[in-house]
Amino acid sequence: MKSGAKIKRIQLKDNQTNDPDIIGIVSTEPDYKLSLALNRKLKISLKNDSPIVIREEPGVEVTFSRFSDISAVPNPGYDLTSNRSGKNFLLKKLKNIDFIFQVHNPGDEDDLKAIAATLKNMECITAIFRIDTATIKDKNLQYIIQ
């Protein structure tokens, strides 16, 4: 190696985050019917998973149903979590949302837009909202983003 040769360093930016992209879903369908409809439309395999259990007071537990699809690893994984359990909400700041749909490792923005467009066209879904987790300050957000 020549003495005095300069070494050029290039810093690469890591644009990937470990946080999933979250879509809020408004639907009057029960969780199992919505998961079946999502399976058919998106060609995924959501299956009943262990629910999210929150202890609000001593002796009081609130459970929120969850359906997961991790069969497509390393492709996107999906989670459908209920935001309501009786009169309780998982994310209290998003009371107008019935379900939280997470897309893990969606690829690029176009893939996520295609998923959102597909969800908008489903008859059982009234509305969808893209949710930015950086703007939501809720103590229960930790249960969703793991």
Query: Kind of pairing, strands 47-57 and 77-82?
Result: unpaired
What integer is the mean pLDDT of 16-32?
82
Angle at 22 between CA 20 and CA 27, to 5 degrees: 145
Is the pLDDT at 126 greater than 70? The verdict is yes
What pLDDT shows up at residue 5? 74
pLDDT band (50, 70, 90) for residue 74: low
* Strands (DSSP E) found in the chain: 21-26, 47-57, 60-69, 77-82, 84-85, 88-89, 99-104, 127-131
**Is the predicted pLDDT of residue 80 greater than 70, yes or no?**
yes
Count of CB atoms situated within 10 Å of the CB of 70: 13
Give the pLDDT of residue 72: 59
Give CA–CA dist 31/35, Å, rounded: 6
Q: pTM of the full predicted structure?
A: 0.78
Give the H or E element holding residue 67.
strand 60-69
